[in-house]
Amino acid sequence: MNIRSDIAELLRAGWSGRKIAAHCQVSTNSVRKAREALNLPAHKPGPTPAGTVEDLFWRRVEFTIDGHILWPNASVGIRTGHNGPRISAARLAFRIRHQREPVGKVTPGCGRARCVAPAHVEDRPMRDALNSTFAAIFGGVL
């Protein structure tokens, strides 16, 4: 089964099937099948605890029809605790995807402003590797 990445990420973040279906504009049956294919347990109803910083990330993002995930306010990040420092949404998305801290500035590789889709963000070493590949293929950095 081909599972949309946005649905898979919301399932892993603990969203309910109905909420995912409404948010991603799919049927609840599609969400149920995706949950089963990923071997994830059924959603437990009730209030969602504040949880982790990653939970806050998934509650605040806006999904687009074309596969991007946008952060609603580009200048405001996520506070890591009560009166704790803020982390940018792009850096958090990078940590979610790559399970490591990013090196240097994190930017959307897709070119879409405010996109924080974990699959779209890149750190400096990733951009350097891409530029090296372009240089090897085309004879110079583009």
Instruction: Give the single-character DSSP code of 72.
Output: S
Full-model pTM: 0.62
CA–CA dist 2, 16 (Å, integer): 20
With contact defined as beta carbons under 8 Å apart, do 8 and 39 qualify?
Answer: no
- In the chain (142 residues long), the average pLDDT of successive 10-residue segments reads 85 84 90 91 69 80 89 73 80 91 92 92 92 83 52
Paired residues of 87 in beta bridges: 78
pLDDT of amino acid 87: 86
